[in-house]
């Protein structure tokens, strides 16, 4: 039976689909096309060189055996990059090249960033690129979506909405999309701004009777990047204007990307119609980086600064700075500053004394001690804290204890739930999120928690 390239690839995709999580298949394999089938190679194309590399890297082990099972033992799978949406290259343009070679050949020459990108709104920081973003489990899906959007704005995931805590790389990703588009498609206009800047610009436009110009300006961009979308909270006329801007852009298949510290439905006072618009595309979360990613980020930052830092020192920092990438960077900078001022080299001891002084080791701290301190600070007993009572003051103190166990000890949610009367993990997550929100909104509460934290150290 003679198969065409398309038929062969369709069969292989069918088998791959059931072996992969839906979103992986949808993001990476669904956009591929079969190009040609020769005696010993099946050639497919991916929409970007990044996608080609990613597929090779992550799915090569799955795909190659499927290819061989279908087509023959020594068959190769080759993957090329589509230069534009659908154009393809014949197989004989790349005789015998392996996957990586092809990906390499197709990689566009890095061109310097234009000094003036066509941007509207805030400036893009040229340092914040996709290449400099370290990818790990906590952010790989968000990153992949950003890469896809940057490669083909308006085509696939529109709008893209990313949410997650402070210092986890959301702003970085927005700038990175903007920089990538400005470099690869200089004819497109990119607008980067925070939702607060959008509000201010709107107010100024209303005051100066220039709303028509305002509308024309934002409704005509090709890529709209909105940072800190949670600032739309409760601002009705801004939301109204944003709604129309969004519709105009979306109708014209222009890309909209938003980032926020929380999911759309958790932004207080965000209108239902905006929440539902955001759900038209993809909403995804960036989580806190795990230890492995924190190490990788530190190594990359050290490399970028051309610093040789002892692995033990990096590990020490990575183990202690758990909450965000910004915290990691802060610790590294602190060490560097101290070592260059004092002319001491960075040893694990120095790291311990410097980083340890702000972020005391949590190793010896136990969850029981946390409960004890929280109970004391709220004038309760530990038993009350762990009881099933839902009385408000108790529930609040319990949420604080959960929050501290999570942020200081990184305990799994299920384990925290067990410690507090067998509550399930979604209840725990909900309680912790409530504390996090209150920490942002209520300075008095923040002081109280900081004091508790210091005492625990
Ligand atoms: P957010 O907007 O989510 O609060 P930022 O994008 O401002 O966070 O990130 C904080 C800092 O950490 C920035 O300097 C950013 O470049 C850096 N950063 C965050 N995530 C990563 C990552 N995955 N790889 C490299 N740097 C990162
Ligand atoms: Mg930010």
| Segment 39-55, tens digit of pLDDT | 888 888 888 777 888 88
Structure confidence at residue 107 (pLDDT): 38
Asked if residue 182 lies in contact with residue 118, where contact means CB atoms within 8 angstroms, the answer is yes
Rounded-to-integer distance, Cα 304 and Cα 329, Å: 12
* Ligand that comes closest to the CA of residue 230: 2
More confident residue, 132 or 349: 132
Order of strands, sheet of 76-81, starting from the edge strand that comes earlier in the sequence = 33-37, 41-46, 76-81
Which pLDDT score, from 0 to 100, does residue 117 have?
A: 40
pLDDT at 96 over 60: no
Residue 408: closest CA among 376, 374, 437: 374
Q: What's the whole-number average pLDDT of the chain? A: 85
SS3 state at 76: strand
Mean pLDDT of 165-186: 95
- Paired tokens of 177: 């999309």
Residue pointed to by tokens 């920092």: 317
Crossing angle, helix 311-320 and helix 348-358, to 10 degrees? 10
Task: Give the count of alpha carbons within 13 A of 226, CB side only.
Answer: 28
Higher pLDDT, 319 or 247: 247
CA 410 to chain centroid, in Å, comes to: 20
Residues 6+ apart with CB under 8 A from 129: 175, 176, 179, 180
Measure the CA–CA gap between 12 and 68, rounded to whole angstroms. 10
Mean pLDDT of 374-402: 92
**What is the per-residue pLDDT across 111-132, written as a single tens digit (0 to 9) for each?**
333 333 455 667 899 999 999 9
Nearest residue CA, atom 11 of ligand 1? Answer: 326
pLDDT of residue 364 exceeding 90: no
If pLDDT is split at 50, 70 and 90, which confidence band does 353 have? confident
Instruction: Provide mean pLDDT across the span 209-238.
Output: 93
Q: CA triplet 71, 76, 77: central angle to 5 degrees? A: 95
* Residue 44 CB neighbours (<10 A): 26
How does residue 366 score in pLDDT terms, banded at 50, 70 and 90?
A: confident
Tell which one of 146, 172, 257 to mutate to probe ligand 1, the residue whose CB is within 8 A of the most ligand atoms.
172
Given a cut of 60, whether residue 144 has pLDDT beyond it is: yes
CB 166 less than 6 A from any atom of ligand 1: yes
Cβ proximity of 186 and 118 under 8 Å: yes
What average pLDDT does the segment 385-404 reach? 93
Distance 102 CA to ligand 1 centre (A): 31
pLDDT attached to residue 184? 94
C-alpha angle 147/153/46, rounded to 5°? 55
Percent of the chain with pLDDT over 70: 89
Give nearest CA residue, ligand 1 atom 23.
Answer: 134
CB 287 within 8 A of CB 139: yes
DSSP letter (8 states) at residue 396: H
Distance 20 CA to ligand 2 centre (A): 32
- What local confidence, expressed as pLDDT, does residue 320 receive? 84
**Could you say which ligand is closest to the alpha carbon of residue 128?**
1
pLDDT over 50 (residue 419) = yes
The reported pTM is 0.59
Coil, helix or strand at residue 311: helix
How much is the average pLDDT of 70-98?
57
| 321 pocket-lining for ligand 1 (C-beta < 6 Å) | no
Residue partners of 69: CB distance under 8 A and separation at least 6: none
Residues 6+ positions from 189 with CB-CB distance below 8 Å? 118, 119, 120, 220, 221, 222, 223
Work out the angle at residue 57's Cα, subtended by the Cα atoms of residues 157 and 142, and round it to the nearest 5 degrees.
Answer: 30
User: Which whole-number Å values give the CA distances from 193 to 94, 181, 362, in the listed order?
Assistant: 43, 16, 38
Residue with tokens 């912790």: 432
Q: Across residues 238-249, what is the average pLDDT?
A: 95
Beta strands in 53-116 (DSSP E): 76-81
Q: Residue 142: CB within 6 Å of ligand 1?
A: no
The rounded Å distance from CA 422 to ligand 2 centre is 36
What does the pLDDT read at residue 311?
87
- Separation of 292 CA from ligand 1 center, angstroms? 16
Confidence class of residue 333 from pLDDT cuts 50, 70 and 90?
Answer: confident
CB atoms within 10 A of CB 429: 15
Task: Please tell me the distance from the alpha carbon of residue 352 to that of residue 1, in angstroms, as a whole number.
Answer: 68
- Residue identifier of the C-alpha nearest atom 19 of ligand 1: 169
Taking 90 as the threshold, does the pLDDT of residue 170 lie above it?
Answer: yes
Q: Does residue 82 register a pLDDT over 80?
A: no
**What local confidence, expressed as pLDDT, does residue 116 receive?**
36
Residue 98 confidence (pLDDT) above 90: no
Give 179 Cα–ligand 1 centroid separation in angstroms: 15
Whole-number pLDDT of residue 121 = 65
Query: What confidence score (pLDDT) does residue 113 get?
Result: 31
N- to C-terminal Cα distance for the chain?
71
Q: Which of 134, 146, 169 to mutate to test the pocket of ligand 1 (most atoms within 8 A of CB)?
A: 169
Burial of 207 (0-12, 13-18, 19+ CB in 10 A): exposed
Residue 351 has pLDDT above 90, yes or no: no
CA distance 47 to 83: 8
* Chain centre to alpha carbon of residue 118: 25
What is the pLDDT averaged over residues 214-242? Answer: 94
Which listed ligand is nearest to 288 at the C-alpha? Answer: 1
What is the per-residue pLDDT across 250-303, written as a single tens digit (0 to 9) for each?
999 999 999 999 999 999 899 999 999 999 999 999 999 999 999 999 999 988
**Averaged pLDDT, 436-457:** 84
């Amino acid at each position: 039976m003679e198969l065409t390239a398309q038929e062969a690839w369709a069969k292989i995709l069918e088998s791959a689909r059931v072996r992969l999580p839906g979103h992986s298949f949808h993001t990476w394999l669904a956009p591929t096309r079969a190009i040609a089938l020769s005696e010993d190679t099946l050639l497919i194309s991916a929409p970007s060189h990044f996608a080609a590399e990613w597929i090779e890297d992550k799915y090569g082990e799955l795909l190659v055996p499927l290819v061989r099972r279908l087509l023959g033992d020594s068959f190769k799978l080759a993957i090329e990059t589509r230069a534009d949406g659908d154009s393809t290259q014949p197989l004989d343009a790349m005789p015998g090249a392996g996957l990586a070679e092809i990906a390499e050949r197709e990689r566009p020459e890095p061109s310097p960033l234009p000094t003036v990108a066509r941007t509207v709104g805030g400036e893009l920081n040229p340092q914040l690129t996709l290449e400099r973003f370290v990818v790990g489990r906590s952010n790989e899906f968000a990153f992949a979506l950003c890469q896809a959007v940057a490669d083909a704005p308006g085509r696939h995931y529109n709008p893209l909405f990313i949410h997650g805590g402070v210092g986890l790389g959301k702003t970085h990703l927005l700038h990175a999309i903007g920089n990538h588009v400005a470099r690869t498609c200089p004819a497109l206009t990119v607008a980067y701004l925070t939702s607060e800047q959008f509000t201010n610009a709107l107010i100024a436009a209303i005051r100066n009777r220039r709303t028509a110009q305002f509308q024309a300006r934002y409704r005509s961009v090709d890529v709209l990047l909105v940072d800190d979308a949670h600032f739309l909270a409760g601002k009705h006329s801004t939301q109204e204007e944003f709604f129309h801007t969004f519709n105009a852009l979306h109708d014209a298949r222009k890309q909209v990307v938003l980032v926020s510290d929380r999911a759309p439905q958790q932004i207080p006072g965000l209108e239902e119609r905006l929440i539902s618009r955001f759900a038209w595309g993809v909403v995804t979360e960036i989580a806190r980086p795990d230890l492995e990613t924190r190490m990788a980020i530190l190594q990359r930052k050290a490399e970028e600064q051309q610093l040789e830092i002892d692995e033990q020192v990096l590990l020490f920092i990575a183990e202690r700075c758990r909450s965000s990438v910004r915290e990691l960077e802060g610790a590294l900078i602190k060490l560097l500053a101290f070592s260059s001022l004092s002319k001491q080299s960075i040893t694990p001891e120095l790291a311990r004394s410097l980083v340890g002084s702000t972020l005391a080791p949590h190793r010896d701290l136990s969850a029981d001690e946390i409960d004890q301190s929280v109970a004391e600070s709220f004038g309760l007993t530990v038993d009350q804290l762990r009881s099933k009572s839902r009385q408000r003051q108790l529930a609040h103190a319990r949420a604080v204890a959960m929050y501290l166990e999570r942020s200081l000890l990184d305990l799994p949610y299920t384990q925290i739930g067990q410690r507090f009367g067998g509550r399930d993990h979604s209840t725990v997550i909900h309680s912790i999120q409530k504390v996090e929100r209150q920490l942002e909104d209520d300075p008095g509460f923040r002081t109280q928690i900081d004091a508790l934290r210091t005492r625990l150290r």
